[in-house]
Amino acid sequence: MATETEPVNSQGDAPSLHDETRRYRYPHEIIKNYSLEICQLLFSDPRSRYIWDISQEKTQITICDKHAFNQDQVNQQPCIVASRGPIAWMNTSGFQQRQDLDWRTGRETFTDLQRGGVTLSCFSKAGAEAEEIAGFLYESFQMLRSVLRKIGAQGRMVPNHLGFFRIQAVTMGEEALVRSNSAPEMSVVPVAISANVQRRWSVEPKARTLLKINTAITRKDT
């Protein structure tokens, strides 16, 4: 009876930090969306100088993806804009990344890390304000590295969380002036986050359906 192999996804999807019903399946989603959501959680603290709110009418700081960013927003309030960089497999563990083999079923389980990064560009009409926001993010992501590996929905701590496996590096760039014909000059300071996300999956033999069996029984008289 011939067999074929079939991939089996044995890792759950990472939940949003805001909404447990929303899930991020792929590492590129986790790296960018978690970085955005962590920024939103940091600026949700009422002690923060700039309070983030999901309502655009109430928020004092815009935190969004680059595709939702409009430079005119900087005239109203400072902005943090996320832009994801390349992502790649790290090929780090075991023999061909194999973690386990079930000799009874032939099921093989693999694990590996993917590395990627996101740049959080901090925009403001005032250079000092852009520097202040960037500096706060720069220190927060570094100081909370171990916490962010375990943080779950709505900021709760969850063991073996499916989000960041490790935050490798946090860097802060220098202030730059953005010039535009349609908007006043503004300052931007980038904060780059480099992170790893773990992936775990299985591949197992899948038997083809046996459609028919012909059986013949003979009797031999003695």
Q: Which of 20, 217, 31, 210 is nearest to 114 (CA)?
A: 31
What's the rounded Cα separation, in Å, for the pair 21 and 60? 27
Residues pairing with 82 in the sheet: 65, 120
Contact 146, 165 (CB under 8 A): no
Q: Which of 149, 174, 134, 160 is nearest to 42 (CA)?
A: 134
Q: What is the DSSP track for 71-117? A: GGGGGTS-EEEEEEEEEEE---STBTTEEEE-TTT--EEEEEEEEEE
Confidence band of 182 (pLDDT split at 50, 70, 90)? low
pLDDT of residue 50: 92
Q: What stretch of H or E contains 177? A: strand 176-178
Contact 3, 208 (CB under 8 A): yes
Confidence band of 120 (pLDDT split at 50, 70, 90)? very high
pLDDT of residue 67: 86
| Strands 79-89 and 23-24, bridge-based pairing | unpaired
What's the rounded Cα separation, in Å, for the pair 51 and 55? 11
Domains of the chain are: 3-207 (3.30.70.1700)
| Residue that wins the pLDDT comparison between 141 and 219 | 141
pLDDT of residue 221: 59
| Residue that wins the pLDDT comparison between 4 and 171 | 171
Contact 135, 143 (CB under 8 A): no
Q: Which of 198, 6, 207, 217 is nearest to 115 (CA)?
A: 198
Confidence band of 216 (pLDDT split at 50, 70, 90)? low
Helix axes 27-42, 127-143, angle to 10 degrees: 110
Average pLDDT value for residue range 79-91: 92
pLDDT for 134-163, tens place per residue?
999 999 999 988 887 766 555 565 554 557
Q: Given a cut of 70, is residue 99 above it in pLDDT?
A: no
What's the rounded Cα separation, in Å, for the pair 106 and 192? 42
Contact 112, 91 (CB under 8 A): yes
Task: Scan for tokens 């100081």, then name that residue.
Answer: 143
pLDDT of residue 14: 78
If you average pLDDT over every residue of the chain, what do you get? Answer: 81
What's the rounded Cα separation, in Å, for the pair 95 and 78? 48
Q: Given a cut of 70, is residue 81 above it in pLDDT?
A: yes
